[in-house]
Amino acid sequence: MFGKDMMAKLQKMQEQAQLSKEKLDTIIVRGEAGGNLVEVEMNGNRKLTNLSINTALDQMDKSDLEDLLSVALNRAIQAADAANEKEMANSAKGLIPGM
C-alpha cells in the first residue's frame, strides 16, 4: 500500500511536526488591554505562561476587569495562532509540494 518512500516521508513529517511543536514552546506572544492594565503572555502552542493585572483590584469594577481579561486573552490567542500557522507552514515547505 505504502512504499518505503512514502513511509520515509511520513516519518520525516512527524519528526518535523515535533520539532515545530518544541520551537513553538519557546515563542512567547503577548496580548494587552486597557493601556497595559491587563497583560497576557502565552507560547506559540497557546499555553498561558503569564497573566498580569497592573492595577489595584479595588480600583476596578468586576465587569471591567472581565472585559479587559477577555480582550487581552483574545489578542494573545490571535498572536499565538499567527505564530503557530507561520511555523507549521515553514515546516511543511520542504515536505509538501506546492507549499
Domain boundaries, the chain: 23-85
- Strand pairing report for 38-43 and 48-53: antiparallel
The DSSP secondary structure of 62-83, one letter per residue, reads HHHHHHHHHHHHHHHHHHHHHH
CATH class of the structural domain 23-85:
alpha beta
Closest CA to 87 of 43, 31, 41, 48: 43
Whole-prediction pTM value?
0.81
Q: What is the CA radius of gyration of the chain?
A: 19
pLDDT tens track of the chain, all 99 residues? 567 787 888 888 888 888 999 999 999 999 999 999 999 999 999 999 999 999 998 999 999 999 999 999 999 999 999 999 998 888 877 666 554
Write down the pLDDT at residue 55: 92
CA 55 to chain centre: 26
The answer to whether 83 touches 95, Cβ cutoff 8 Å, is no
